[in-house]
Structure 1
């Protein structure tokens, strides 16, 4: 082979290599704290509707049952964004990590505290769960945050009950059936499945904005897309595309029925009961925002809830304005 051909071969390999690196860097990985949960519906629905591709985004959705683990991956730089609860941005600021919600999906947690019917006798409120084991998706997850707050609010100290990480869906249901947990916080469609079989009843409902205000004292912005502030500032064009995608998806949710939305989702998301899934979808649609904008009164409520039980927030000056941004969603056409 001539020197010229060798040089061309080396150049070609170099270009191919740089192209592969570029293609890899163009991929944006979004970790979802439970892909099948209705509270995180926009992440998968956007993919099903082809909205990511329409914006020219190369997106990989990764499923992680507990939000706290997704948060860890974000800090480590393994993913570029998380579809999880806004409260993590406040919790992380107290630990020196800067993150922001860039699209706010919901104005309510979409979660409930369920009590096993085997242990429901005499349980009229959170105070009656003293000494019991409460199931949460993960320790340090938003379900654990809210469970702890509701117990402390009802005069039960943190040592007066136990939390057990049981995930959601089948693992949550199994834990309740086997009496590993006597109560637990979960989301749809797990809620509907347990109510339908009569294995549990609702103790605290936070699936609507009104019910949430009663339980938590105000609007509680929950599901969102959050990213590290450094990434947001360095990739504003990419972040804007995500804002475009999710606002468009939120508008779709607001203008379509539960049945129409369910028809777009993977069949296994309905867990073999389409009617229950559609009902849960229709009942829960009201928690979603229509524009992705953070409700003005929401961040303070979330801070109040977290400060109610987390020692790490005591004495810390949290700048709520740095935990979210509305710049991108307000620029959506």
Structure 2
């Protein structure tokens, strides 16, 4: 091997190594991990989070996404504000509440055009609690104090002239802990979602008192559509990570289209087995939940006003305050890749 050839070979190897390192650095820069906190990942209202991962849509966008679960949305919100996570899958109403506290947070994809929440009354209390007009002196379960379930509970009771001082709200979480609270008689009624609703109906431990899984039921209870589950981020993050925000939104919009073009059975087949230990029950719960989801991830036109009306009715941090609703959500990212 001539000295000249040896020198050229070394240059080629060195160049290749530098190119490889540069490429790896570019991938690392572009593939920065996005951590999303979900306010109870097994709840069907938050189905799009895990389903997007299962369908491979995050990877299709070149995103490295980690999903974490926090049973109450208010705790997920705190993780976002602390900078521990980049996004939250939780209720849109948190963005309004946070604006009054000087925090600029906005929903960039809307999953639920309605809350998907159901007020369940225990079978033991069903004789005395026939509507929200009967909750005086009762103990009502919510996922967490300051959570969306507590907002809605207070509004529904308030519609019947019953202030929150006349009943007790007990934070009982979701899923198994909610079911245990009903079975043990620690709560007379409570607000929860699928698949917990179907599980309680199947076991006979509770009955539906107020159903907000459909547009019709939600309009009857709240007077309009009430955007619930959504993907929200700090506005500063959306402004400084427009490419990532657009990719995230695009992945989720694909999932919303998948949900709206497939049956409950087909959707369930994509979900992990540990989400559906009782598969027939899970499919039944999913069928009951499908009407809640948006088709395109965009905010319903009357949604923000309805949510503001509900929060303004009782929430002291919102009541009487000027809220710039346009800053609490954007459809900017759902229309483009």
Indicate the TM-score class for this superposition, using the shorter chain for normalisation.
over 0.9
For 2:288, which of 277, 283, 286 is the aligned residue? 283
Q: Secondary structure at the match of 2:335?
A: helix
1:226 and 1:183, CA in 2 relative to 1: closer, same or farther beyond 3 A? Answer: same
For 1:228, which of 220, 229, 234 is the aligned residue? 234
Q: Secondary structure at the match of 2:80?
A: helix
CA distance in 2, matches of 1:202, 1:24: 47
CA distance in 1, matches of 2:128, 2:183: 19
CA distance in 1, matches of 2:70, 2:145: 14
The residue aligned with 2:203 is 197
Is residue 2:35 matched to residue 1:36? no
Tell me whether 232-241 or 305-314 shows the greater mean CA deviation.
Answer: 305-314
The residue aligned with 1:317 is 322
1:150 and 1:19, CA in 2 relative to 1: closer, same or farther beyond 3 A? Answer: same
Which of these two proteins has the greater Rg computed from alpha carbons?
A: 2
Structure 1 residues 1-333: aligned runs within 5 Å: 22=28, 26-270=32-276, 272-332=277-337
CA distance in 2, matches of 1:294, 1:314: 23
CA RMSD across the alignment? 1.9
CA distance in 1, matches of 2:324, 2:203: 45
Q: Secondary structure at the match of 1:82?
A: strand
- Alpha-carbon offset, residue 314 of structure 1: 2.5
1:177 and 1:20, CA in 2 relative to 1: closer, same or farther beyond 3 A? Answer: farther
Q: Deviations over 1:53-112 (max 9, x none)?
A: 110000000011100000000000000000000000000001110111100111111110
CA distance in 1, matches of 2:279, 2:119: 23
CA distance in 1, matches of 2:190, 2:322: 32
- Alpha-carbon offset, residue 122 of structure 1: 2.6
Q: Deviations over 1:41-62 (max 9, x none)?
A: 1100000011101100000000
CA distance in 1, matches of 2:170, 2:128: 22
CA distance in 1, matches of 2:180, 2:319: 37
Flag structure 2 segments of 5+ consecutive residues without an equivalent. Answer: 1-17
Contact 2:142 2:191 in 1 (8 A): yes
TM-score normalised over the length of structure 2: 0.91
CA distance in 2, matches of 1:143, 1:311: 16
- Alpha-carbon offset, residue 132 of structure 1: 0.7
1:97 and 1:155, CA in 2 relative to 1: closer, same or farther beyond 3 A? Answer: same
Flag structure 1 segments of 5+ consecutive residues without an equivalent. Answer: 1-11
Q: Deviations over 1:246-294 (max 9, x none)?
A: 0000000001110111111111111x21111111111211111111110
TM-score normalised over the length of structure 1: 0.92
Moved beyond 2 Å, runs of 4+: 18-25
CA distance in 1, matches of 2:305, 2:116: 19
- Count of residue correspondences: 318
